[in-house]
Amino acid sequence: MPSRSLSLLLVLVLLTSAALFAQSSPPSADQGQSNQALLERIQQLETRLSEMEERQRKQDAAIAVLLSSQGTAEKTAQVSMPAAPATPATAATPPASPSGVQTAEHDHSAMHDHAEVREATIHYPSLQIRGFGDVDFSATDQKGTTSGFNLGQFVLHFASPLSAKVSYFGELSLTAEPSTYDVSVERSIIRYDYNDYFKMSFGKYHTPIGYWNDTFHHGAWLQTTISRPEMVKFGGTFTPVHFVGVLAEGSIPSGGLGLAYSAGIGNGRSSLLSKAGDSGDINDNRAWVASVFAKPSRLYGLQFGGTAYRDKLTPLPGLSVDEWISSAHLVWTKEKPEFLSEFSNVYHRDLQTLKTYNSQAFYVQLAYRLPWQENKWKPYYRFEYIHRPNTEPVWDITGTSSVLDLVGSTVGVRYDITNYAAFKGEYRNTRPGVNEPRVNGAFFQTAFTF
């Protein structure tokens, strides 16, 4: 029995020695290369793991700082704790037991949650750019006009929150001219929000007179029809489209009536009546504007309000005119139906002759989003009217009338081919002046945003 044990021990010793010898013997060239490659691979993975851990630590720290800076230190601690930086031990521990599996899953879930929080947290500045464009075709029976295509405005809108309470908005348009493109800063606004009741901004605006001018900016896709009403058309002079200055706006505590206001002071019309005084006012008199409107909560979609605007115009040396504009609007913004109506009276008083002049304009637009074919069709009709005195010191300043005594009807349809592009076709019948022959026209447009 001892001899048997001894022989067994000998065999074991021999086998162990052989194994040790085999391990200590120099590897072949191929084995050496493989081992080296494996070592390098392990080193790469270790480096990568360290980098990922470091990145995770930095991201968690950044989130904690961000959230705590917003007054939520307590919450941050709660949220950050589950995703505490994975220690090498945790990361390297294989999921050998159910608790190990749970830990790994928990870490993964926490990391995922943190990624979501990171993505949802607003970073400042956070620039959003949206472009608008349109291509148009027009044909009318008005003498001296030609039919054909034209490239509409190419518009870029910019919106960028600069902090939780400060934001910037900009609008740039490029309009095709016979030999070049006219580039214009249409809006440039920096706004500080104190709360819902008081927001103050500075810059260049679309003057908040009435509804259309403050709601539909450049970018034909935003509006139902191809064109704006004559009384608020870009390049028109009936009401000042732009305003440079300071504006306060906000809600008025009014329960279900949903009142809101805006009030501003700034440069009114420049010597070119259709333009605002971007580079400075034309006189020492500032224009001011004040408006109040209501959105009753019981009638979701309804809005009505009024505006007053005052300025002193000095379009030519020796000509000073007081300007008062009063405006009212009533709209139903749901699309089944959509109803827009707006009225403005422009009062001018020549300060030399003391003569007064009143001009009125209004439009009524009705549209309906049809329920068929995925609500893509929206027929519409608009009636518009402008009345002006035969002689007017402001409208006729250049020798040719910049405001026409006009009656017009527009009937058309909008087809939204996607959420971001639409075709529009419309027929217009217009009487552009007293005793002038009526003009018929067909207009087509594809408008889009991108």
Partner 1 sequence: MAIHSKIAGSVLVITALSLFGGQPLSAQAHDVDVAVVVQSDTPVSNLSLAEVRKIFLGDRQYWSANTPVVLLIRAPVARERDVVLKVIYQMSESQFKQYWIAKIFRAESASAPKVVYSNDMANELVTALPGAIAFIDSHDVRPGTKIVRVDGHLPGDAGYPLR
- DSSP letters, 363-400, are EEEEE---SSGGGTEEEEEEEEEEE--SS-TTTTTTSS
- Strands 439-449 and 128-140 turn out to be antiparallel
Instruction: Give how far Cα 191 sits from Cα of 43, 131, 167, Å.
Output: 53, 22, 5
Q: Are 210 and 329 in contact (CB under 8 A)?
A: yes
71-110 residues in contact with partner 1 (CB under 8 A) are 71-72, 75-76, 78-79
- In the complex, minimum distance from the CB of residue 417 to partner 1, in angstroms, rounded to a whole number: 11
In whole angstroms, the minimum distance from the beta carbon of 235 to partner 1 comes to 21
Query: Which residue in 215, 285, 326, 345 binds partner 1 (CB under 8 A)?
Result: 215
Q: Pairing state of beta strands 302-316 and 406-418? A: unpaired
Which member of 194, 257, 356, 433 binds partner 1 (CB under 8 A)? 194
Q: Does 335 bind partner 1 (CB under 8 A)?
A: yes
List binders of partner 1 among 279-298 (CB under 8 A): 295, 297-298
The reply on whether position 429 binds partner 1 by CB under 8 A is no
- Which residue number, 208 or 408, has a Cβ lying nearer to partner 1? 208
- DSSP H or E segment with residue 430: strand 421-432
3-state SS class at 220? helix
Residue pair 334/322 in contact by the 8 Å Cβ criterion: no
* Contacts of partner 1 in 50-69 (CB under 8 A): 67
Residue numbers 110-129 binding partner 1 by CB under 8 A: 113, 116-117, 120-122, 126, 128
Q: Using CA atoms, how far apart are residues 150 and 441, in angstroms rounded to an integer?
A: 15
Phi, psi (degrees; rounded to nearest 5) at 150: -150, 150
Among 32, 88, 95, 256, binds partner 1 (CB under 8 A): 256
Residues counted in the chain: 450
How far is the C-alpha of 378 from the C-alpha of 4, rounded, in Å? 102
Q: Please state, as a whole number, how many other Cβ atoms lie within 10 Å of the Cβ of residue 106.
A: 13
29 touches partner 1 by CB under 8 A: no
Give the angle subtended at the CA of 217 by the CAs of 212 and 220, to the nearest 5°: 100
Count of residues of this chain found to bind partner 1 when the rule CB under 8 A is applied = 53
Give the nearest distance from C-beta 105 to partner 1 in angstroms: 14
Count helices and strands in the chain by DSSP H and E runs: 6, 17
Of residues 402 through 421, those in contact with partner 1 by CB under 8 A are 416, 419-420
Q: C-alpha distances in angstroms, 372 versus 368, 377, 390, 419, 426?
A: 12, 8, 48, 16, 20
Choices 32-40, 155-163, 341-349, 359-367 (CB under 8 A): range interacting with partner 1: 155-163
Nearer to partner 1, 63 or 321 (CB): 63
Nearer to partner 1, 171 or 405 (CB): 171
Residues 223 and 181 sit within 8 Å (Cβ to Cβ): no
**Rounded least distance, CB 191 to partner 1, Å:** 7
CB of 195 to partner 1, least distance (A): 4
User: What is the smallest separation between the CB atom of 242 and partner 1, expressed in angstroms?
Assistant: 14
Q: Which is nearer to partner 1, 181 or 300 (CB)?
A: 300
- Name the DSSP class of 231: G
- Residues near partner 1 (CB under 8 A) are 67, 70-72, 75-76, 78-79, 113, 116-117, 120-122, 126, 128, 130, 157, 159-161, 164-165, 167, 169, 171, 187, 189, 191, 193-196, 201, 214-215, 217, 219, 222, 251, 256, 258, 295, 297-298, 300, 334-335, 375, 416, 419-420, 449
